[in-house]
Amino acid sequence: MRISITYSILLVYLALLSFGCSGITSKNDAPRTDYNETGKASFYAMKYQSRKTASGERFDQSANTAAHNKLPFGTKVKVTNVKNGKSVIVRINDRGPFVRGRIIDLSRSAFNSIGNTSAGVIDVKVEVVD
């Protein structure tokens, strides 16, 4: 009986090793340089200042950082306001946005450099840069 339990635990462990981590993106993965998308961008509310991001670092409204659902942490992207052509380079350090129809959440500083924060949401193009 004891051998069968130990054997079962070993099989479960091996299955988890071979299948469990296949979809995880680590922060050391190379960013896709062919990635680009258009959609809506918003910015973080002030209540998130100094809170930990998904990458573990503290959020800073004055830094040029952003949240994205797919791109690896550390990826640098160029975010362009499609209405006025202004661009900013930001580093992905968080996950989000968690609002349907939005593709990126920018720090207040980054958003303000390409659009007016009173707009709240703007149309942007996001491109990975080297």
> How confident is the model over 21-40, as pLDDT tens digits?
333 344 445 555 678 999 99
Instruction: Considering only CA atoms, give the Rg of the chain.
Output: 19
Q: Please report whether residue 104 resides in a domain.
A: yes
Separation of first and last alpha carbons in the chain:
57
Q: What HEC string does 98-115 produce?
A: CCCCEEEEECHHHHHHHC
Mean pLDDT of the chain: 82
The enclosing domain of 124 has a CATH number of 2.40.40.10
Structural domain span for residue 98: 26-128
DSSP bridge pairs for 52: 58
Q: What is the mean pLDDT of residues 3-28?
A: 44
**What pLDDT score does 27 carry?**
44
Q: Please report whether residue 79 resides in a domain.
A: yes
pLDDT higher at 58 or 21: 58
The predicted model scores a pTM of 0.73
Structural domain count, the chain: 1
Q: Please report whether residue 14 resides in a domain.
A: no
Q: Assess contact for 113 and 78: CB atoms under 8 A.
A: no
Q: Please report whether residue 7 resides in a domain.
A: no
Q: What is the mean pLDDT of residues 104-114?
A: 96
